[in-house]
Amino acid sequence: MGLVLFIIAYVLFLPITIFNALNVKKKGYLKDSAVNLDRYANREFRFSLNKYLILEKSPDRFGNIEETISGVLGKNQLSNNLTNFGKCLVWLLNKIEKNHCIKSINK
Protein backbone atom coordinates (compact mmCIF):
# COMPACT_ATOMS: atom_id res chain seq x y z
CA MET A 1 0.00 0.00 0.00
CA GLY A 2 2.87 2.39 0.78
CA LEU A 3 4.27 2.04 -2.74
CA VAL A 4 0.89 2.78 -4.32
CA LEU A 5 0.41 5.89 -2.20
CA PHE A 6 3.95 7.04 -3.01
CA ILE A 7 3.37 6.69 -6.76
CA ILE A 8 0.04 8.53 -6.60
CA ALA A 9 1.56 11.38 -4.59
CA TYR A 10 4.57 11.59 -6.90
CA VAL A 11 2.47 11.62 -10.09
CA LEU A 12 0.06 14.27 -8.76
CA PHE A 13 2.67 16.61 -7.30
CA LEU A 14 3.69 18.45 -10.48
CA PRO A 15 0.21 19.04 -11.95
CA ILE A 16 -1.16 20.17 -8.58
CA THR A 17 1.80 22.53 -8.14
CA ILE A 18 1.21 24.11 -11.56
CA PHE A 19 -2.55 24.36 -10.94
CA ASN A 20 -1.93 25.97 -7.55
CA ALA A 21 0.62 28.42 -8.99
CA LEU A 22 -1.93 29.56 -11.58
CA ASN A 23 -4.48 30.16 -8.83
CA VAL A 24 -2.21 31.72 -6.23
CA LYS A 25 -0.67 34.23 -8.67
CA LYS A 26 1.89 35.22 -6.04
CA LYS A 27 5.18 36.51 -7.36
CA GLY A 28 7.91 34.07 -6.42
CA TYR A 29 5.53 31.19 -5.69
CA LEU A 30 7.38 28.69 -7.86
CA LYS A 31 10.74 29.71 -6.42
CA ASP A 32 9.37 29.28 -2.89
CA SER A 33 8.03 25.87 -3.88
CA ALA A 34 11.41 24.90 -5.34
CA VAL A 35 13.18 25.89 -2.10
CA ASN A 36 10.67 23.89 -0.04
CA LEU A 37 11.17 20.86 -2.28
CA ASP A 38 14.95 21.28 -1.98
CA ARG A 39 14.71 21.37 1.83
CA TYR A 40 12.53 18.27 1.79
CA ALA A 41 15.05 16.48 -0.47
CA ASN A 42 17.88 17.50 1.88
CA ARG A 43 16.05 15.76 4.72
CA GLU A 44 14.62 12.80 2.80
CA PHE A 45 17.78 11.83 0.91
CA ARG A 46 20.29 12.63 3.66
CA PHE A 47 21.84 9.16 3.72
CA SER A 48 22.83 9.16 0.04
CA LEU A 49 23.76 12.85 -0.01
CA ASN A 50 26.05 12.41 3.01
CA LYS A 51 27.58 9.27 1.52
CA TYR A 52 28.30 10.51 -1.99
CA LEU A 53 28.65 14.30 -1.89
CA ILE A 54 30.70 15.05 1.23
CA LEU A 55 33.62 13.55 3.12
CA GLU A 56 32.95 11.52 6.27
CA LYS A 57 34.89 14.00 8.42
CA SER A 58 32.59 16.88 7.50
CA PRO A 59 30.74 18.46 10.42
CA ASP A 60 28.24 20.02 7.97
CA ARG A 61 25.90 17.15 7.15
CA PHE A 62 22.76 16.85 5.06
CA GLY A 63 19.47 16.23 6.85
CA ASN A 64 18.42 19.53 8.44
CA ILE A 65 14.98 20.43 7.03
CA GLU A 66 15.83 24.14 7.48
CA GLU A 67 18.68 23.94 4.94
CA THR A 68 18.79 23.39 1.21
CA ILE A 69 21.06 20.90 -0.52
CA SER A 70 22.92 23.82 -2.12
CA GLY A 71 23.49 25.46 1.27
CA VAL A 72 25.06 22.33 2.73
CA LEU A 73 27.17 21.96 -0.42
CA GLY A 74 28.27 25.58 0.01
CA LYS A 75 29.38 25.00 3.60
CA ASN A 76 31.36 21.95 2.52
CA GLN A 77 32.81 23.81 -0.44
CA LEU A 78 34.20 26.45 1.94
CA SER A 79 35.63 23.82 4.31
CA ASN A 80 36.99 21.68 1.44
CA ASN A 81 34.93 18.64 2.47
CA LEU A 82 33.36 17.72 -0.88
CA THR A 83 33.88 14.44 -2.68
CA ASN A 84 34.71 14.56 -6.39
CA PHE A 85 31.02 14.01 -7.15
CA GLY A 86 30.11 16.84 -4.77
CA LYS A 87 32.62 19.12 -6.51
CA CYS A 88 31.07 18.27 -9.89
CA LEU A 89 27.59 19.11 -8.59
CA VAL A 90 28.82 22.44 -7.17
CA TRP A 91 30.51 23.21 -10.49
CA LEU A 92 27.26 22.49 -12.36
CA LEU A 93 25.16 24.63 -10.01
CA ASN A 94 27.70 27.44 -10.31
CA LYS A 95 27.27 27.35 -14.09
CA ILE A 96 23.56 28.06 -13.56
CA GLU A 97 24.22 30.85 -11.02
CA LYS A 98 27.65 32.18 -10.06
CA ASN A 99 28.58 31.08 -6.50
CA HIS A 100 25.14 29.48 -6.12
CA CYS A 101 26.06 27.13 -3.28
CA ILE A 102 27.90 29.74 -1.23
CA LYS A 103 25.01 32.20 -1.72
CA SER A 104 22.63 29.47 -0.51
CA ILE A 105 24.21 29.04 2.93
CA ASN A 106 21.74 29.88 5.70
CA LYS A 107 23.01 32.86 7.62
The arithmetic mean of pLDDT across residues 8-15, rounded, is: 93
pTM recorded for the entire structure: 0.87
Which tens digits make up the pLDDT trace of 19-38? 998 899 888 888 999 999 99
107 has pLDDT over 80: no
Q: By three-state DSSP, how is residue 93 classified?
A: helix
In this predicted structure, which of 9-18, 57-66, 86-95 has the lowest mean pLDDT?
Answer: 9-18
Task: Give the residue extent of every domain in the chain.
Answer: 2-103
- pLDDT, residue 27, reads 86
Q: Any alpha helices (H) in the chain, and if so which ranges?
A: 2-24, 29-44, 46-53, 69-78, 84-96, 100-103
* Separation CA 4–CA 90 (nearest Å): 34
